[in-house]
Chains A and B, each alone.
Chain A
Amino acid sequence: MNVEQVLFYLFAFGALAGCSGVVLSRNPINSAVSLVAAFFFLAGNYVLLHANFMAIVQILVYAGAIMVLFLFVLMLLNQRDEELGKRTFSIAPLLGIFAAAVVSVTIGAGFMSYRNATANFPADVPVSFGTVQQIGRALMTTHLLPFELVSLLLLIGIVSAVVVAKRRL
């Protein structure tokens, strides 16, 4: 195993463990913290895929901004450990897990049927691949319309978050 594989398995199992921690831990704050860890491991995977800009954005936006927002709301609302209480058995989660398994098998089969999924990655990556320069140039030329739409969406998001959360306008 070379260094890249060791790093991939480290990051992959870290991400899997973090995401499992989100689902398995009873306390929502523990969930949030393990999700932050999972995001860091995913950013490491992005670096392995030569997507350096996306790795930085992943840490800044996801681990830095979105999860801090989650933690703020969790601590603001200060809930009790409600899920520790009575556990009523119901068939719905089992059906849900079954549905999720079916969905995942479908996704995996779709991925595997991709014509050259087992091929190696191309070895010679251009130096500019995934850099801020390339991404910025693409955002300002070929992907200008989605970029502007996203800015509009974020504006709508800011305004509506204030409107919804405010007690009285």
Chain B
Amino acid sequence: MSLTLEHYLLLSAALFTIGAVGLVTRRNVIVLFMCVEIMLNAANLALIAFSRFHLVADGQMFAFTVMAVAAAEAGIGLAIMVNIFRHKKSLLVDDLNVFKN
């Protein structure tokens, strides 16, 4: 029995789940960002596995685009976090409740 598409898809689903669990359990905004990166990488792994399965390179194009979007998102998101930290002196989601009430 050799490697099948199933192996990679299960790995991708497992990584996505870890990212999703981290997203709902952690409280630090930067760690939440890292969990989003994990989920994006899980999607990339599935795309590249399908690309290898069908021997069509379009999946790698998608993954490439996802990486570029992730880079832009990380840049802007971290800039926003620096600004939030400057105002609130904290990066915990519990403290960022300006809109509450």
Count residues of chain B with CB under 8 A from any CB of chain A. Answer: 72
- In the bound complex, how far is the Cα of B37 from the Cα of A69, in angstroms? 13
Task: Mark each residue of chain B from 55 to 75: 1 if its CB lies under 8 Å from any CB of chain A, else 0.
Answer: 101101101110111111111
Measured in the bound complex, the distance between the Cα atoms of B16 and A101 in whole Å is 10
Asked if B82 contacts A73 (CB within 8 A), the reply is: yes
Number of interface residues of A (CB under 8 A): 84
Query: Which A-B residue pairs are the 8 nearest by beta carbons?
Result: A96-B24, A157-B72, A23-B22, A104-B17, A100-B20, A165-B79, A111-B9, A164-B79
Q: Which residues of A contact B83 (CB under 8 A)?
A: 164-165
Residue of A nearest to B78 (CB): A73
Tell yes or no: B98 within 8 A of A by CB.
no
Chain B interface residues toward A at CB < 8 A = 2-28, 30-31, 33-35, 37-38, 41, 44-46, 48-49, 51-53, 55, 57-58, 60-61, 63-65, 67-76, 78-83, 85-86, 90-92
| A54 touching B64, Cβ below 8 Å | yes
User: A2 to B3, alpha carbons, bound, how many Å?
Assistant: 10
Mark each residue of chain A from 118 to 139: 1 if its CB lies under 8 Å from any CB of chain B, else 0.
1111100110011000110011
- Interface bits A135-146 vs B (CB < 8 Å: 1, else 0): 100110001001
